[in-house]
Amino acid sequence: MRRTVLKFAALAVLALAAAGCATGPTGPKFQEMGNVIPKLKPGNGRIYFFRAAGPFGAALQPGVRIDKLGVGSSKPGSFFFVDRPAGTYQAATTSDLRKTLQVPLAEGETKYVRMSPSFGLAVGSIVLDIEAPEKARSEMGWLTYAGQVIVDK
C-alpha cells in the first residue's frame, strides 16, 4: 500500500513538472502582430531574436545583449525585436558573453537571429546564428511575443 502511494506521488510530481515545462510564454503570436509592430524609423534597421519551442534546454533562459545592453531574454517558443540605427552590432547572451555574433544592419534592413540551446561538458548556453529571412519568418508564425509592450498609435 505504502509503495503504491509513493509511486502515485512520484507520478503526480512528474506530471506537474511536465506541465510546468509545457507552459510557454503567453501573449500574441508573430502571425497575429502584423498590424501592431511599428514601422521602422528612418535610419534604423530591425533585429528579430527568436527561439523555437521545445523541451531541450527549456530551463536555460539567459538574457540577450546587444553591445552590452540588455534587450530581452531567450525563452523557448518566443521572439522579440529591437530597432537600431544602421551599423554593426555585437549580440551575445548572458550565459556566455565571450561568444558573440556580429550583426551588420543597414538602414531599412531586417535581420533574424536564431537562439538555440547548446550543451557543453559542464554548462549549457544559447548559440546565436543569423537565419535567412524566409526560413525565419516561416518558423516564427506560432512563436509568442516576449518583448516590450507595444502601444498601437
Q: What is the pLDDT of residues 26-67, one digit of tens each?
A: 789 999 998 889 999 999 999 999 999 988 888 899 999 999
Element of type H or E holding 137: helix 133-140
CA angle 44, 50, 55 (to 5 degrees): 170
108 within domain boundaries: yes
102 within domain boundaries: yes
Q: In whole angstroms, what is the distance from residue 66 CA to residue 55 CA?
A: 26
53 within domain boundaries: yes
In tens digits, what is the pLDDT along the chain, a chain of 153 residues?
A: 544 433 433 333 333 333 344 445 678 999 999 888 999 999 999 999 999 998 888 889 999 999 989 999 999 999 999 999 999 999 999 988 888 999 999 999 999 999 999 887 667 889 999 999 999 999 999 999 998 766 444
> What is the chain's length?
153
10 within domain boundaries: no
Q: How many domains does the chain have?
A: 1
Contact 76, 24 (CB under 8 A): yes
Residue 63 CB contacts under 8 Å (≥ 6 apart), including other chains? 70, 72, 73, 74, 93, 94
57 within domain boundaries: yes
CATH of the domain at 87: 2.60.40
Contact 83, 108 (CB under 8 A): no
Q: Give how far the C-alpha of residue 131 lies from the chain's centroid of Cα atoms, to the nearest Å.
A: 13
Residue numbers of the domain that contains 67:
25-145
Element of type H or E holding 35: none
**Which amino acid, one-letter code, is at 79?**
F
- What pTM value is reported for the model? 0.80
Q: Residue 47 is placed in which grid cell?
A: 533585429
